[in-house]
Amino acid sequence: MALSRRGYRTELNVWPGWVDGLSSLIIVVIFVLMVFVVAQAFLQQQLAGRDRSLVELNHRIFELSQMLGKERETSASFRVQAENAVAKLNELTVARDKAAESANASAAEVQQLSQQIADLTASIQKLNDALGAADVKAQAQSTTIEALTQKLNAALAEKVSELARYRSEFFGRLREVLGDRKDIRIVGDRFVFQSEVLFPSASATLGASGEEQMAKLARTLLEISKTIPPGLNWVLRVDGHTDRVPIHTAEFPNNWALSTARATAVVEFLIEQGVPPERLAAAGFAEYQPVDPGTDDAALAHNRRIELKLDQR
User: pLDDT per residue over 255-304, tens digit each?
Assistant: 999 999 999 999 999 999 999 999 999 999 999 999 999 999 999 999 99
Is residue 284 domain-shared with residue 206, that is, in the same domain?
yes
Query: 24 Cβ partners below 8 Å, 6+ apart?
Result: none
Do residues 98 and 59 both lie within one domain? yes
- Are 104 and 171 in the same domain? no
Neighbours of 202 (CB within 10 A): 12
- Do 128 and 189 sit in the same domain of this protein? no
In a domain, 147, yes or no: no
With beta carbons less than 8 A apart as the criterion, state whether 68 and 131 touch.
yes
Give the residue numbers spanning the domain of 25. 2-141
Which amino acid belongs to residue 140? Answer: A
Is this prediction's pTM over 0.75? no
In a domain, 76, yes or no: yes
Residues 179 and 280 in one domain: yes
In the chain, % of residues over pLDDT 70: 74
Alpha-carbon distance of 262 to 63, in angstroms, equals: 63
**Which has more confidence, 272 or 310?**
272
Q: Are residues 120 and 170 in the same domain?
A: no
Residues 75 and 173 in one domain: no
Domain total in the chain:
2
| Shared-domain flag, residues 136 and 184 | no
State whether 183 and 134 are in the same domain: no
223 contacts 265 by C-beta, under 8 angstroms: no
Question: Which of the pair, 19 or 10, is modelled with greater confidence?
Answer: 19
161-214 pLDDT per residue, tens: 555 566 666 666 656 655 555 667 777 778 899 999 999 999 999 999 999 999
Confidence band (pLDDT; 50, 70, 90) for 312? Answer: confident
Whether residue 137 is found in the same domain as residue 198: no
- Residues 220, 261 share a domain: yes
Claim to verify: residue 33 and residue 81 sit in the same structural domain: yes
Euclidean distance between CA atoms 25 and 160, whole angstroms = 104
